[in-house]
Structure formats: C-alpha cells, structure tokens
C-alpha cells in the first residue's frame, strides 16, 4: 500500500506538510503511477439527496423531484459512458428503492451519505453510529452489497467531529470523502492533506474533494456552488493541474443542481425560502448540464471504489 500517511490535524512543518507545499502532493504519485491505468482517472461523486432536506434541514420531507433530477444525471453519465459514485441518503433510498436499483444496475457505485442528513456537528457519536448503521441496512437490502464509502452531510467532519473515522471503520467502511481541506465558516480542516490519505487512528482512507493550492491556501474547485460559480475554463484548468501532479480530482454534484425551476416548485408546495437563498441556490443551475457534458468529454472518470481498488 502506497498511500501517504499524512494525518489530519498536524501542523504545517510536522509530518511533511512543508513537503506537501513544496512539491505539490508527493506520495500519491507513486501509488497512482504504479497501480492505476493511465491517463489518471478522476472521480465524479453525486450526493444523492433532495434539496429541502439537504439545504433547509432534516425535518423536511423527501420529494419526488429527486427522481427526475437523478435521471437527468444518469442520462448524462450514460451518454458519456461514465461511471460515478453516488453517496446516497438513506431517506431517499427508503422512499424510492427502485431509483437506487436503477443507479446500481447502470454500473454506478452506491455509497452512503448517512440516513437523515443530520450534521455531525449537531449530533453525538452514538447518534451518528445509529444514523450510518441505518443507512447501511437500507442500501444493503436494496442493492445486495454493503457500501464501502461514506460522505458526511455538508462535509461536517471538522476538528471536533474526528470521532467519526473509527466509528466508520468499525462499521466496515473502507473510505470516507468527508473532510474538505479548506477554511470555511461551517466546515473544513484547512491543514488536512489534499490527496487520499489514511486517518490517524483507524484504517479508513480519506478521499478529499478537489482543491488547488494558490497564494498559500487551499481553494475549492470541487463541486456544488463552487463549481457552478467558477468560470468553466478555470475549473477545467484546475483539474488538469491536479492530473499533471498525478492527482485524481474528486468532484461532487447534487441532482437538484440540474433542477432550474426546483426551488420555485418547492415554494409553490408551501416551503418557505428567503429571497437571498433562492437567488444563490438557483444561480447558474442552467449551466450545469452543459458543464457536466463538457467535463465528461474532456476528462477520464471512474468510481471511488475502482480508484481505490488496490488500496482497500
């Protein structure tokens, strides 16, 4: 196994963080150069969830819009013969099992996004374990195999919720994609490694969303609002830069980001949304389909399970 074992929470100057800045992502090159096919593959991940639950809060219902939105994504992926990793919310799977079977039957990876989309910062370890265990039970019953990957709701693995790693490892997970190595007011561990690495206190592999290093700090390019708002050529340039350093770019998309009129429809069904949130969340959704086509045409993608197949 050649994954670099830089650890979360170590200060710059300790355990190679200086080297990380100096050479831009050492360690991972050897692993990828030796054991994965060329050219390097990126990973397109989908956080399979519905907008009201994901953005407004876990008290909201799962609506049928998630089906249509997910099928739009599936159509794009099928068109380009791209396989993706779907971090699937247990509540969505519970409500619409045939949708999950459809995704799985199309050759995509089904991973876990927990059950209820409660942020780790709002719950304790016991409740977290119950939530993840419940999602595993639902997904396993639908597709016939246990998920090996997990992504925390809203990347809520932060310094105070690092207890999540050993719990995930004990539950049988092989990897997580839950730590955003950026500085942000609600999430992120800015000094966490930018490349796949092992957690400090368990065998779990962390696969962080893509960032670029510029002006001494990490900048997100990976997905969601960042991906919608950044000019397309800049995002593609950043992915190329990572790939030149033998780094896979791990990107993320939400099905609802393709749903241009989605928020208006939720409001028509009685969900209250402030004007600022409406504008920000809707902004550039009309770009998303074209952008995804462009990415799928220009870059090579695989699933996280496939990317890590020699390491787990």
Closest distance to Zn ion from the beta carbon of 49 (Å): 5
94 near Zn ion, judged by CB under 5 A: no
Q: Is 153 in the site for Zn ion (CB under 5 A)?
A: yes
Distance of CA 165 to the CA centre of its chain: 16
Q: Does 206 bind Zn ion (CB under 5 A)?
A: no
Stretch that binds Zn ion, among 96-104, 130-138, 152-160, 300-308 (CB under 5 A): 152-160
* Three-class SS state of 38: coil
CB of 47 or CB of 246, closer to Zn ion: 47
Q: Determine, following the binding rule CB under 5 A, whether residue 47 of this chain makes contact with Zn ion.
A: yes
d(CA 4, CA 107): 29
Closer to Zn ion by CB, 49 or 94: give it. 49
As a whole number of angstroms, the distance between CA 312 and CA 162 comes to 21
CA of 3: how far to CAs of 33, 87, 193, in Å? 12, 23, 12
List the one residue from 24, 49, 94, 259 that touches Zn ion (CB under 5 A). 49
Nearer to Zn ion, 108 or 198 (CB): 108
The residues, ordered by sequence, that sit 6+ positions from 30 with a Cβ below 8 Å of its Cβ are 2
The sign one gets for the Cα dihedral 175, 204, 113, 227 is: negative
Measured from the CB of residue 114, what is the shortest distance to Zn ion in angstroms? Answer: 8
**Segment interacting with Zn ion, rule: CB under 5 A, options 18-26, 39-47, 68-76, 241-249:** 39-47
Rounded CA separation 247/33 (Å): 10
The SS3 assignment for 211 reads strand
Q: How far is the CB of 223 from Zn ion (least distance, A)?
A: 11
In the region spanning residues 236 to 265, those forming contacts with Zn ion, defined by CB under 5 A, are none
Give strand pairing partners of 223: 252
Verify cis geometry, omega within 30 degrees of 0, for the bond prior to 240: no
- Binding residue (CB under 5 A) for Zn ion from 54, 55, 82, 139: 54
Chain residues that interact with Zn ion, rule: CB under 5 A: 47, 49, 54, 153
């Amino acid at each position: 196994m050649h994954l670099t074992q830089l650890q979360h929470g170590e200060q710059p100057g300790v355990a190679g963080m200086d080297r990380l800045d100096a050479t831009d992502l050492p360690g991972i090159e050897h692993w990828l150069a030796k054991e994965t096919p060329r050219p390097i593959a990126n990973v397109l991940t989908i956080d399979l969830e519905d907008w009201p639950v994901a953005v407004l809060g876990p008290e909201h219902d799962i609506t049928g819009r998630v089906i249509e939105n997910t099928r739009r994504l599936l159509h794009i992926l099928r068109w380009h013969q791209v396989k993706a990793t779907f971090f699937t919310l247990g509540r969505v799977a519970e409500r619409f099992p045939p949708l999950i079977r459809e995704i799985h039957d199309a050759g995509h990876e089904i991973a876990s996004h927990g059950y209820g989309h409660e942020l780790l910062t709002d719950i304790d370890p016991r409740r977290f374990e119950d939530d993840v265990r419940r999602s595993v039970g639902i997904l396993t019953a639908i597709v016939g195999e246990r998920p090996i990957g997990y992504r925390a709701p809203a990347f809520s693995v932060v310094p105070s919720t690092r207890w999540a790693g050993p719990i995930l490892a004990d539950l049988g997970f092989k990897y997580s994609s839950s730590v955003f190595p950026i500085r942000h007011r609600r999430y992120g561990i800015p000094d966490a490694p930018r490349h796949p690495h092992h957690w400090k206190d368990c065998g779990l592999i962390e696969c962080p969303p893509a960032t670029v290093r510029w002006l001494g700090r990490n900048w997100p390019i990976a997905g969601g609002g960042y991906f919608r708002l950044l000019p397309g050529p800049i995002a593609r340039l950043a992915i190329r830069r990572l790939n030149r350093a033998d780094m896979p770019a791990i990107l993320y998309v939400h099905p609802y980001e393709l749903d241009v009129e989605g928020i208006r429809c939720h409001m028509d069904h009685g969900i209250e949304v402030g004007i600022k949130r409406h504008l920000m969340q809707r902004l550039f959704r009309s770009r998303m389909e074209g952008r995804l086509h462009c990415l799928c045409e220009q870059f090579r993608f695989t699933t996280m399970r496939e990317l890590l197949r020699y390491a787990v």
